[in-house]
Amino acid sequence: MTRLALNGGPEAAAGLDIPRWPQCTDTSKEYVLDALESEKWCRIIDGADWVDRFESEFADYHDAEHAIAVSNGTVAIELALRASGLQPGDEVLVPAYTFIATASAVACMGGVPKFVDVDPNTFNIDPESVRENVTDRTVGIVGVHFGGYPMDMDELLPIVEEHGLFLIEDSAHAQGSEWRGQRVGTFGDFGTFSFQQSKSLPAGEGGIVVTDDDVLAEEASLVHNIGRPVGAGYKHTMLASNYRLPELQGALLCSQLEKLPDENRRRQENEERLVSELDVIDGIHTLRRDDRITNRGYCVYNFRYDADAFDGLSRDRFLEALRAEGVPASPGYGLPLYKQPAFSREQLGTLVPPDTEIPVNRHLHLPGVEEIMETNVRLSHTALLAEGETINAIPRAIRKIQENVDQLLES
Ligand SMILES: Cc1ncc(COP(=O)(O)O)c(C=O)c1O
């Protein structure tokens, strides 16, 4: 009998070599020091150019015509909503399984987020549920390329077209992801990204919006700079806030972007290794394979766990055992968004015009989301950067738990 690590045995994944994150490289030090010593720490100071440079390099990387860097991924969505013409009380469809910012940005801009279901095979917005929920009050969709897995644009774009909606692609997780050879973020009106510390392109905090539309880009640029073009002095043509990214962050992001393509290649190779081993374990369900996904970015790596194939061992106890074996896995978000107290009628009611119809979110039940809540096993993108073949330690640890599950059921 092999003793499980939870019961004092040796860790099955002891060799799993996951790098620390984020990483301060020599180039990061060089670029940030340059920005620091330039004493131009804000993009609107004459001669400041790190944020300009990052915008141009990120736009190239994502094949977008325009990019406007902002302070984080949450305000990137707010900016995109404002520039897309969202009016107070407008209804916007959002997936109910995502980080809260996707939906709270809608509410904070005076819109009404309407939650739609998610496909457990992809963790992305379910186009069928979008069709069922669209009404004549719906003005747009904020969808998420969750974990870097692209949304099904073949299904989503015709719905957007048919109903005259705007589409914002929340690509906070998807730096480098591609659908049918086209980088994500450029299918809709705007793509928004986050560069928060845990993301695959990190700067502590930071964000960007991309678009191919010249008019929307101009609007977004005005909105991000308190209602005036960059370099326009004190003439403000619009009431707006300050969403600018600092120069030091711009410099840091230029350095981090240089290593992203190689890192994504390594993550993709490791994902292939992982999937080929996980797919043969009874009760482990990896995301649907889709040839239309031609490149992957990553933030989290998800699969689903079926307790029946582990003699009924609960997902949470399985996670405990997996972590004890040396695999840093988590259950993901603790609540579907419609159960978040922040989306109560009372709270939403404070942000929208009187008489706006507000759904009672706490009564919602979305089966796809609820299945994910019960079965999700989440790893960070950093696990996919594991050295050599040490990634194989993850399926090895899972097999060990499955073969010795009686030790957990007895205890
Ligand atoms: C899907 C998604 N959208 C938006 C955000 C918000 O990004 P930020 O933390 O940079 O504000 C996050 C952050 O984790 C996210 O996961």
Say if residue 10's pLDDT is above 80. Answer: yes
- Shortest-distance Cα residue to atom 8 of ligand 1: 73
- Shortest-distance Cα residue to atom 7 of ligand 1: 73
Structure tokens at 105: 């940005």
Tell me, what's the pLDDT at 1? 76
Average pLDDT, the chain: 97
- Asked whether residue 203 is domain-assigned, the answer is yes
Return the ligand 1 atom nearest residue 299 CA.
16
C-alpha 369/C-alpha 52 separation (Å) is 39
Tell me, what's the pLDDT at 231? 87
- Which residue among 202, 222, 257 closes a domain? 257
Query: Picking from 139-143, 357-361, 364-368, which range would have the lowest pLDDT averaged per residue?
Result: 357-361
Residues 33 and 59 in one domain: yes
- Asked whether residue 99 is domain-assigned, the answer is yes
Return the ligand 1 atom nearest residue 198 CA.
14
Long-range contacts formed by 232-241: CB under 8 A, 24+ apart: 240/82, 241/75
Tell me the best of 194, 249, 380 to mutate to test the pocket of ligand 1, counting ligand atoms within 8 Å of each CB and taking the most: 194
Return the ligand 1 atom nearest residue 195 CA.
10
Say if residue 411's pLDDT is above 70. Answer: no
Residues 96 and 144 in one domain: yes
Over pLDDT 70: what percentage of the chain? 100
Residues 188 and 138 in one domain: yes
Helix, strand, coil percent values for the chain (each to nearest 5): 40, 15, 40
- What number is the average pLDDT over the span 179-205? 98
Tell me the best of 104, 184, 196 to mutate to test the pocket of ligand 1, counting ligand atoms within 8 Å of each CB and taking the most: 196
Q: Which domain holds residue 289?
A: 5-21+260-333+371-410
Tell me, what's the pLDDT at 123? 98
- Asked whether residue 366 is domain-assigned, the answer is no
Q: What is the CATH number of the domain that holds 95?
A: 3.40.640.10
- Asked whether residue 362 is domain-assigned, the answer is no
CA of 337 to the centre of ligand 1 (A): 14
Say if residue 410's pLDDT is above 80. Answer: no
Over pLDDT 90: what percentage of the chain? 96
Return the ligand 1 atom nearest residue 101 CA.
4
For 47: left if phi > 0, alpha if psi spans -120 to 50, otherwise beta; the answer is left
How many distinct structural domains can be found in the chain?
2
Q: What is the CATH number of the domain that holds 16?
A: 3.90.1150.10
Query: Picking from 197-206, 316-325, 353-362, which range would have the lowest pLDDT averaged per residue?
Result: 353-362
Structure tokens at 127: 């186009």
Q: Tell me which residues have their CB closer than 6 angstroms to ligand 1.
A: 72-74, 98-99, 101-102, 144, 170, 172-173, 194, 196, 207
Q: Just list the catalytic residues.
A: 99, 170, 173, 196, 199, 228, 234, 244
Tell me, what's the pLDDT at 258? 98
Residues 285 and 406 in one domain: yes
**30-67 tens-digit pLDDT:** 999 999 999 999 999 999 999 999 999 999 999 999 99
- 198 strand-pairing partners: none
